[in-house]
Amino acid sequence: MPVTDPYAVLGVSRDASADDIKSAYRRLARKFHPDVNPDDPTAEEKFKEVGEAYSILSDPERRQRFDQYGVTDDSGMGGGGGYGPGPGAADFGDLFEAFFGGMGGMGGGQANFSRDGDDLRADVSITLRDVLTGCEKPIKVKRTTPCTHCGGTGGEPGSEIKTCDTCNGQGAVRRIANTFLGSVTTTTTCPTCRGTGKKIEKPCSKCQGKKVTVETADLTVNIPAGVQHGTTLRVSGQGGAGIDGGQPGDLYVVVAVARDARFERDDIHLYAPLDITFAQAAMGDQIEAESLDGTVKISIPRGSQPQAEVRIKGRGLPRLRGGARGDLIYVLRVKVPKDLSQERAELLRKFAELGNERIPEGDGQGGGFLGGLFGKKKK
Ligand SMILES: [Zn+2]
Ligand SMILES: [Zn+2]
């Protein structure tokens, strides 16, 4: 619904100053804001009316036109198009200010259209040994950084930065669409200045007005002991640069733990195969074996069976949040000799005999079973 007398709506006199108009508008906008009057359906109507009146009186051209011709709308002017802000374009920022300007630290009256930087991802590969000790890894990150030439303003140093004509520096434009539900007002970011409210006369020669440039940063990331394969570490503030005062993004480092040739990981425990002889398995032994950090003494119990596990407490991996290390578990692999000398074969037969076991027909020599049986002459 068109406003017929914006002065009456705002309750100001014809010769009211711009400041008077602004403060009257703020007072009324607060009073009639739909959020403040959820139960009063007329409040929203009043709120819109106040906004419309202010958009007329805050625009010197429109105010003058009203004073002169008594019209409040472009449509009455015929061919009067072409001037910057459409109806109501001016009031977004002021509305913002009306509600937030007095409370927060914004004060300046300009809505904040800063843009935060992008979050980025980097991948890093580490070894099991790194998981044990923690490590520092150098990584390269391609990211945006504030342009050093223009200091992030986007304008060539020394050139002027003006107020955007499209949105009058408000950073947003309001559109009124007529639908079957009535007119619907939407506020969108100004397409000309993309919300900054500023117009750069001469774009920065280095960043072409983008305010940021792309760099490849050499960073060092601290990887704590105990990380898992796939653990994601957040490095705060090391992502893309924020624009117009926005916060920088974060860097997410995804850790891959390379497979180890000797040790298999199960959470904080490590498994490793350990080859022993039949004699060691049968009689027991004290040996040394490599762990992830130095050698360990291992007691092979007498009568160990294949796949038996020997557990070394506290020689596995740490947890990410500290505490005792896991265990290192050796899985015994009993090696069976493949080629026996005659003497050893003789002893094994004797061994079987003494144990009341069946005496093998093979002799453990030459090309397999048949070869053993028929291919060689016994002495
Ligand atoms: Zn620049
Ligand atoms: Zn603009």
User: What DSSP assignment string belongs to 174-219?
Assistant: EEEEEETTEEEEEEEE-TTTTTS-EEESSB-TTTTT-SEEEEEEEE
Contacts of 258 (CB under 8 A, 6+ apart): 125, 126, 127, 128
| Confidence at 103, pLDDT banded by 50, 70, 90 | very low
- pLDDT at residue 181 tops 90: no
Ligand 1 centroid, distance to 209 Cα (angstroms) = 6
Q: Are residues 239 and 299 in the same domain?
A: no
Alpha carbons 201 and 81: distance in angstroms, whole number: 24
* Share of the chain residues as helix, strand and coil, in percent rounded to the nearest 5: 25, 25, 45
Q: Are residues 231 and 137 in the same domain?
A: yes
Count other C-beta atoms under 10 Å from residue 333's C-beta: 13
Quick: pLDDT tens for 130-168: 999 999 999 999 999 999 999 998 899 988 888 898 888
- Spell out the SS3 assignment of 303-360: CCCCCCEEEECCCCCCCCCCCCCCCEEEEEEEECCCCCCHHHHHHHHHHHHHCCCCCC
Check residues 174 and 105 and name the one with the higher pLDDT.
174
Ligand 2 centroid, distance to 210 Cα (angstroms) = 16
The parent domain of residue 315 ranges over 264-335
Report which residue type is found at 248. P
- Per-residue tokens: 37: 């009057």
Q: By the 8 A CB rule, do 272 and 261 touch?
A: no
Ligand 2 centroid, distance to 85 Cα (angstroms) = 9
Average pLDDT for 77-95: 37
Percent of residues, the chain, with pLDDT higher than 70: 85
Ligand 2 centroid, distance to 172 Cα (angstroms) = 6
Quick: pLDDT tens for 12-21: 988 899 889 9
**Nearest Cα residue to 9 out of 60, 68, 72:** 72
Ligand 1 centroid, distance to 203 Cα (angstroms) = 8
Among the ranges given (17-21, 191-195, 335-339, 370-374), the one the predictor scored with the smallest mean pLDDT: 370-374
Q: Are residues 312 and 286 in the same domain?
A: yes
Ligand 1 centroid, distance to 245 Cα (angstroms) = 15
Q: By the 8 A CB rule, do 353 and 360 touch?
A: no
The ligand minimizing its distance to the Cα of 198 is 2
The ligand minimizing its distance to the Cα of 92 is 2
Q: Are residues 220 and 135 in the same domain?
A: yes
In a domain, 167, yes or no: no
Q: DSSP character for 171?
A: S
Q: Which of 196, 224, 258 is the last residue in one of the domains? A: 258
Q: Are residues 243 and 134 in the same domain?
A: yes
Task: Read off the CATH number of the domain in which 220 is found.
Answer: 2.60.260.20
Q: Are residues 135 and 221 in the same domain?
A: yes
Give SS3 for 242: coil
Q: Are residues 348 and 236 in the same domain?
A: no
Ligand 1 centroid, distance to 208 Cα (angstroms) = 6
Question: Which residues have C-beta under 5 Å from ligand 2, the single-atom ion?
Answer: 164, 166-167, 190, 192-193
Q: Which of 258, 293, 320 is the last residue in one of the domains? A: 258
- pLDDT at residue 364 tops 90: no
Task: Read off the CATH number of the domain in which 14 is found.
Answer: 1.10.287.110
Task: Please count the structural domains in the chain.
Answer: 4
In a domain, 311, yes or no: yes
Report which residue type is found at 292. L
In a domain, 271, yes or no: yes
Q: Are residues 25 and 62 in the same domain?
A: yes
Cα→Cα distances 28→37, 103, 154, Å: 12, 17, 38
Question: Which residues have C-beta under 5 Å from ligand 1, the single-atom ion?
Answer: 147, 149-150, 204, 206-207
